[in-house]
């Protein structure tokens, strides 16, 4: 435990130096002014915990998280679709959107259900009355009421394939734009042929098969991929772009050439993997942080032996009981209290509502500084999603 804390402290020191180097390495007047503004914001909010009034990181809109750029329709609570089979996605979305009030839907081609999500949205969601209207009444939903997120699969990170990959997702989701498009993993893979035009979904799971790292492609530059992502914004096909699973050093490298900074970095964050250094760096650079697996990936980890169970941690349980909330609500409120946005997944309507409620200011505000410190003391740097398990030694080129 002491060694883990020492490593975390070392990471914080290194992060501070990287931020300092970033601030002094730029020479243009525009960049110097931007640095000065960042410095002033950082000094005026040195606390790790940002302001969380209902107009900042509440579930109904606000900050991109951790000091990210504000987006008025970026809900803090997102509904995740990983591991929900196509034949069950309509029911899951109906309860999450129409009854619990979720507006941000997190998708990805490698979840192999985007075509079913698109069908469900058109056939079951749009035009139906949903909870969460400004006056408390149920309101008919339109596409513009939702914040749709998807991700670029690794086989299509070569700039020649980025737009076609997006258009495949748009066709499957039955929409003409995305609110946010992310690079899913910073590890390009060898090209996989696209299905024929008009084919809904994917014929197999080849786009997610790294062959233990043998299919990774070291010749594709993240800078080239990002430039192609920026062109998607210019074309109007996406409103915002971002990254996912980017470690600090690679994010810093991306920012050295980016014309459009990522709206956010979606990464695995929970009390067992606090990622304080990355969160602080993103805050300093104006990049939001979005936590996936914020509850510890129980469904995913349940398929593996020996994984810790975050929601059964006695420290979490005792504090949750003291606050009058569930363990899941405590952990989600902790994340939002840090200024993060979250992605949660459940097909159970009761848990969907519970998770959504956890992001509301009245629950988030129950946590004190002491509560935050108690939860963060559980950090052990544990990841449930480990690239080294899938890609072998090739993963260390990015995730060392």
| Percent helix / strand / coil, the chain, rounded to 5 | 45, 15, 40
Strand-strand pairing, 61-63 and 57-58:
antiparallel
In DSSP notation, 132-146 reads --TTSS-EE--GGGS
Q: Is 111 a catalytic residue?
A: yes
From 102, 111, 156, 281, active-site residue: 111
DSSP class of residue 179 equals E
A 10 A CB-CB count for 285 gives 22
Please say whether the beta carbons of 261 and 255 come within 8 A.
Answer: yes
In angstroms, the CA 73 to CA 54 distance is 13
Q: 186 vs 73, 155, 318, 381, CA distance in Å?
A: 27, 11, 38, 20
> Which two tokens mark 147?
């914040």
Cα separation, 385 vs 14, whole angstroms:
24
First to last CA, the chain: 21
Measured distance CA(300)–CA(291) in Å, rounded: 15
- The closest of 207, 192, 263 to 230, measured between CA atoms, is 263
Non-local CB neighbours of 168 within 8 Å, separated by 6+ positions = 109, 194, 195
Number of C-alpha atoms within 13 angstroms, CB side, residue 299? Answer: 13
Task: Compute the distance between CA of residue 325 and CA of residue 319 in angstroms, rounded to an integer.
Answer: 9
Catalytic (active-site) positions: 111
């Amino acid at each position: 435990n002491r060694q883990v804390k020492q490593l975390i402290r070392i990471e914080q020191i290194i992060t501070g130096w990287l931020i300092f180097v970033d601030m002094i390495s730029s020479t243009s007047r525009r960049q110097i002014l931007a640095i000065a503004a960042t410095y002033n914001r950082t000094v005026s909010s040195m606390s790790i915990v940002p302001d969380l009034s209902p107009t900042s990181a509440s579930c109904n809109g606000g900050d991109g998280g951790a000091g990210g750029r504000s987006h008025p329709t970026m809900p803090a609570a997102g509904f995740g679709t990983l591991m929900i089979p196509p034949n069950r996605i309509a029911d899951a979305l109906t309860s999450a959107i129409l009854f619990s009030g979720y507006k941000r839907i997190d998708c990805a081609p490698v979840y192999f259900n985007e075509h079913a999500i698109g069908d469900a949205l058109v056939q079951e969601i749009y035009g139906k009355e949903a909870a969460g209207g400004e006056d408390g009444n149920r309101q008919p939903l339109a596409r513009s009421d939702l914040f749709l997120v998807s991700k670029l699969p690794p086989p299509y990170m070569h700039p020649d394939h980025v737009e076609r990959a997006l258009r495949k997702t748009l066709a499957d989701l039955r929409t003409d734009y995305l609110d946010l498009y992310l690079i899913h993993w910073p590890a390009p893979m060898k090209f996989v042929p696209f299905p024929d035009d008009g084919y809904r979904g994917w014929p197999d799971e080849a786009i997610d098969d790294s062959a233990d790292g043998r299919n990774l492609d070291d010749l594709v530059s993240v800078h080239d991929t990002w430039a192609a992502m920026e062109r998607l914004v210019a074309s109007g096909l996406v409103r915002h772009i971002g990254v996912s699973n980017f470690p600090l050093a690679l994010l810093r490298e991306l920012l050295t050439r980016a014309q459009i900074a990522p709206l956010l970095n979606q990464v695995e964050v929970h009390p067992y993997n606090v990622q304080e250094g990355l969160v602080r760096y993103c805050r300093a650079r104006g990049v939001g942080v979005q936590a996936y697996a914020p509850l510890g990936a129980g469904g995913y980890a349940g398929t593996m032996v020996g994984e810790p169970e975050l929601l059964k941690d006695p420290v979490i349980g005792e504090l949750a009981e003291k606050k009058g909330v569930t363990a899941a609500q405590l952990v989600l409120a902790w994340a939002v209290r840090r200024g993060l946005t979250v992605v949660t997944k459940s097909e159970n309507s009761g848990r969907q509502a519970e998770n959504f409620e956890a992001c509301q200011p009245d629950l988030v505000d129950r946590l004190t500084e002491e509560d935050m410190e108690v939860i963060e003391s559980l950090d052990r740097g544990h990841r449930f999603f480990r690239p080294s398990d899938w890609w072998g030694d090739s993963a260390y080129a990015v995730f060392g």
